[in-house]
Amino acid sequence: MHILVTGGAGYKGAVLVPKLLERGEHVTVVDAMWFGNSLADHERLSIIARDVRELEAQHLDSVDAVIHLANVANDPSADLDPRLTWEVNALGTMQLADHCVRAGVRQFLYASSGSVYGIKSEARVTEDLSLTPISDYNRSKMVAERVLLSYADQMIVQCIRPATVCGLSSRMRLDVAVNLLTMQALEHGKIRVFGGDQVRPNIHVQDVAGVYMHLLDLGERAPGIFNAGFENISIRELATRIAARIPAEVEFTPSDDPRSYRLDSKKLLDTGFAPQFCVDDAIDEIVAAHRRGELSDGDQCYNVRWMKQSQASPAQPAPAMAAR
């Protein structure tokens, strides 16, 4: 199978692409390389260093399936340039979907976000609940979902709403909850928690890659929308878990961030998917990598810092830099 992965050099893509290659797939990665490229050369891997907005129909010749990961990720990054966010996340997705239909692509997997639900009080946040996104990032992902679902009679469309991702990747991110707080403990001996009672769902990056591969294999047997998050944990509990592994002081500070939600992923589990990793695994592997000297607290691991330094904009994508 020939699979095109947009954003394939990113945090999730850098884990997913090697797995696809390991099982014999032919993979084309399309990535603007804002954060560099840590993917190793492979005889079945082609890389197109290009913004997803510049992708053309010819790049989809012979492609069987698209896994669309490319986006301006998370609220702070999206807020840097809302116009860029909407162009990449919504308009770019619409353009890509149109190219796919014209090229005869059979299957389209979309990396949406569990944050599209907004603030929910329900104990079980399932795929049939209303969406009340509260930021440009959330709204752009919701709109992209709706655009894609309008193509559901022309190709298999699968929208995955992942929880907050954690764990090691060769294109590491330290601006997501588990990774961020673990690195704070390692580098400073202190974990700073804003609020603490907010509940967030979590998923290990290895399991995220597993979800895409699982749904890719199911194809027309599992179209539609799927939550993907398996541990709903308060930020307070998360900090406590980390401090139990790394001697660190936990400092609580009031927060005006109201986001709190729990994902229910029964629909995905009912298709036969079984998660293999957990938050504790992510903490332990980050600690081990740091102690081996393989993981450092660099600016390139923080999307907002790196985008500001690189001055990424709609007119000028950030230059490619070596990933660490």
Please give the full DSSP string across 178-206, using - where no structure is assigned.
HHHHHHHHHHHSEEEEESS--EEEEEEHH
218: in domain: yes
Q: Which two tokens stand for residue 59?
A: 């790049």
Position 310 pLDDT exceeds 90: no
pLDDT in tens, 50-108: 999 999 889 999 999 999 999 999 898 999 999 999 999 999 999 999 999 999 999 99
C-alpha to C-alpha distance for 297 and 324, rounded to whole angstroms:
10
61 is a domain residue: yes
CB burial class (10 A; 0-12, 13-18, 19+) of residue 125?
buried
Instruction: Answer left, alpha or beta for residue 90, where phi above 0 means left and psi between -120 and 50 means alpha.
Output: alpha
Asked whether residue 246 is domain-assigned, the answer is no
Which tens digits make up the pLDDT trace of 114-162?
999 988 888 889 999 999 999 999 999 999 999 999 999 999 999 999 9
Is 81 among the domain residues?
yes
Rounded Cα gap, residues 302 and 270, in angstroms: 35
d(CA 253, CA 20): 42
The overall average pLDDT reported for the chain is 93
Q: What pTM did the predictor assign? A: 0.93
Residue 242 counted as domain residue: no
pLDDT digits (tens, 9 = 90+) for 107-121: 999 999 999 998 888
What radius of gyration, in Å, describes the C-alpha atoms of the chain? Answer: 19
Q: Which residue, among 102, 123, 109, 209, has the nearest Cα to 158 in the 3D structure?
A: 109
Position 109 in a domain: yes
Amino acid identity at 2: H
* Coil, helix or strand at residue 107: strand
Q: Which residues of 25-56 are buried (b: 16+ CB within 10 A; e: fewer)?
A: bbbbbbbbbbbbbbbeeeeebebbebbbbebe
Q: Could you tell me the CATH number of the domain that includes residue 214?
A: 3.40.50.720
Q: Which domain holds residue 220?
A: 2-166+203-230+261-277+303-310
Per DSSP, the three-state class of 244 is helix
Does residue 297 lie in a domain region? no
Number of domains within the chain? 1
In a domain, 155, yes or no: yes
Core vs surface per residue 63-76: b (16+ CB within 10 A) or e: bbbbbbbbbbbbbe
Closest CA to 173 of 183, 188, 163: 183
pLDDT digits (tens, 9 = 90+) for 213-247: 999 999 999 999 999 999 999 999 999 999 999 99
Q: How far is Cα 94 from Cα 151, in angstroms, rounded to an integer? A: 10
Rounded to whole angstroms, how far apart are CA atoms 165 and 168? Answer: 10
Residue that the structure tokens 């990747």 belong to: 169
Q: Tens digit of pLDDT for each residue in 178-220?
A: 999 999 999 999 999 988 888 889 999 999 999 999 999 999 9
